[in-house]
Amino acid sequence: MRDFDGRDGIMLFGGIPVTEIAEEFGTPVYVTDESRLRENYRRIYGAFSKHMDTKIHYACKANTSLAILKILEGEGSGIDAVSVGEVMTCIKAGFTPDRIMYTGVNASNEELAAVTELGVTVNIDSVSALERLSKIKTGLPVSFRITPGVGSGHSDKVITGSKGSKFGIPDKSVIKTYIRAKELGFEPKGIHAHIGSGGQSAEPFSDELEVLIGYTNELKDLGIDLDFIDIGGGIGVPYRPNEPEMDIDELGASLTEMILEETDVRTIILEPGRYIVCDTTVLLTRCIDVKDAGTKKYVGVDAGFNTLIRPAMYDAYHHVALGNKFGKACTAKYDVAGPICESGDYLAHDRALPNPEEGDTVVVYNAGAYGFSMSSNYNSRPLCREVLIGGGRAELIRDSECIEEQWRHQRIPERLIR
């Protein structure tokens, strides 16, 4: 887990006191450190590119804020997109279509037509999608997502590579799908798999790559030479204090060695999302209420699972600190709960905190991945602001919604109006 500095009992984020950020922009608010974003991208790119030609396709579902996308575009990243909306958002941020790969699951004909028209590479998820795409447009360079039979992730809900998964082409159909693609006039260029999200062990990635290498060499024997192997994303990051971090340099060395020694492929593609943006961002929220319920103590805050759903949805751990009492001794354990009218609305359970009081600035760590991108208007609550810290300045990169904006697409039939 990333460590932060403090000054006079106040936590600093990007060199700025979190209390000042909360005061200027209000709460709840997501705050991203630009320098950390660049560091994370350069670290993972360097770990692989020093061994072989490497393309990083940022898995933008983790965070599609335009400013963050723009920074990564400037760093040279590509994009892994899973919807036409993500494709269009990335183009808006400056990515050219040749830097975007679309990997949709259960993609409709309308979406396949739209992404094809936009000119991005299509990574096909099923035999059905291949046949349907051939009726829209053929002659395209394509890749295929296969089900490797290897799964990894922080929760059963995010493991995607196991046998029987809804994602990818199952093993019995892989080779004949590539042959069928050639028959239909497509140009198979690569093979892809994604085993899950947030894995902290290197072994599943090696197991996945062995499967991809096996298919690659079998296809070569059939006269289908692939340009790249795409191992997907899923490299985890430490969320808890003192949790070990994956050795990304060792992972890069071992996986590239496998490809270089066992295949003729000379380009690897990775699709990190969480690894790049997770620890770049904190969620600042305000202590509204402190309650002793007898069997449990609560810190009530103004951010709920409408703002950050991961703890409620995945039982995910996010470290919590009081930004205005940084480094002070903890006095008791509390649940950190939000304002949503649900008993499952919490950000943290049983956290030792230093005497919380109304008005405290509560800091939720590791909020950059699947934080804002999964937020909602539940309980008719507006989406919150986002702020970017760069060059010693805090700048607004997304304003908060007003309540009226939630009505903009609603209509009341005339017959109901009195």
pLDDT-derived band at 149, boundaries 50, 70, 90: confident
Indicate whether 160 pLDDT > 70: no
Indicate whether 157 pLDDT > 80: no
Please list the residues that pair with 143 across neighbouring strands: 123, 190
Q: Are residues 232 and 112 in the same domain?
A: yes
Q: What is the CATH number for 111? A: 3.20.20.10
Q: Which is catalytic among the residues 330, 341, 384, 402?
A: 341
Q: What is the CATH number for 379? A: 2.40.37.10
At residue 154, the pLDDT reads 58
Domain that holds residue 40: 34-277
* Cα–Cα separations (whole angstroms), residue 281 to 57, 120, 199, 211, 231: 20, 29, 20, 35, 26
Is residue 1 domain-resident? Answer: no
What is the distance between the alpha carbons of residues 332 and 310, in angstroms, rounded to a whole number? 24
The candidate with the shortest Cα–Cα distance to 202, out of 157, 141, 244, is 244
Is residue 415 domain-resident? Answer: no
Q: Are residues 196 and 56 in the same domain?
A: yes
Which whole number is the average pLDDT over 362-379? 98
Q: Are residues 159 and 308 in the same domain?
A: no
Q: Are residues 170 and 218 in the same domain?
A: yes
Is residue 418 domain-resident? Answer: no
DSSP E strand boundaries for 309-384: 320-322, 332-337, 346-353, 361-364
Of 216, 246, 277, which residue constitutes the final position of a domain? 277
Which whole number is the average pLDDT over 387-393? 96
Q: Are residues 226 and 206 in the same domain?
A: yes
What is the distance between the alpha carbons of residues 275 and 171, in angstroms, rounded to a whole number? 29
Q: What is the pLDDT of residues 197-223, one digit of tens each?
A: 777 778 889 999 999 999 999 999 999
Is residue 412 domain-resident? Answer: no
Q: Are residues 207 and 343 in the same domain?
A: no
Which whole number is the average pLDDT over 263-292? 98
- Going by C-beta distance under 8 Å and a sequence separation of 6 or more, which residues neighbour residue 234? 152, 153, 194, 195, 196, 197, 198, 199, 205, 274
Of 253, 277, 301, which residue constitutes the final position of a domain? 277
- Is 287 among the residues known to form the active site? no
Strand 187-192 to strand 228-230: parallel, antiparallel, or no bridges (unpaired)? parallel
* Cα–Cα separations (whole angstroms), residue 97 to 55, 78, 112, 119: 15, 9, 15, 6
The total number of structural domains in the chain stands at 2
Indicate whether 159 pLDDT > 60: no
Indicate whether 153 pLDDT > 60: no
- Find out whether 287 and 362 touch, Cβ atoms under 8 Å: yes
For residue 183, give both structure tokens.
Answer: 């028959």
Q: Are residues 259 and 245 in the same domain?
A: yes
At residue 155, the pLDDT reads 54
pLDDT-derived band at 151, boundaries 50, 70, 90: low
- Strand 10-13's sheet: what is its strand order? 6-7, 10-13, 16-17
pLDDT-derived band at 94, boundaries 50, 70, 90: very high
Q: What is the pLDDT of residues 285-327, one digit of tens each?
A: 999 999 999 999 999 999 999 999 999 999 999 999 999 999 9
Indicate whether 40 pLDDT > 90: yes
pTM above 0.85, yes or no: yes
At residue 367, the pLDDT reads 98
- The interaxial angle of helices 174-183 and 203-221, nearest 10 deg, is 50
At residue 39, the pLDDT reads 98
Of 277, 302, 331, which residue constitutes the final position of a domain? 277
At residue 150, the pLDDT reads 72
Is residue 393 domain-resident? Answer: yes
Q: Are residues 99 and 241 in the same domain?
A: yes
Q: Are residues 226 and 331 in the same domain?
A: no
Please report the sign of the dihedral spanned by the C-alpha atoms of residue 264, residue 267, residue 271, residue 276.
Answer: positive
Q: Are residues 239 and 285 in the same domain?
A: no
- At 109, which helix (H) or strand (E)? helix 109-118
Is residue 102 domain-resident? Answer: yes
Is residue 416 domain-resident? Answer: no
Q: Are residues 283 and 261 in the same domain?
A: no
pLDDT-derived band at 196, boundaries 50, 70, 90: confident
Which whole number is the average pLDDT over 55-77? 98
Q: Are residues 71 and 152 in the same domain?
A: yes
At residue 189, the pLDDT reads 98
Is residue 312 domain-resident? Answer: yes
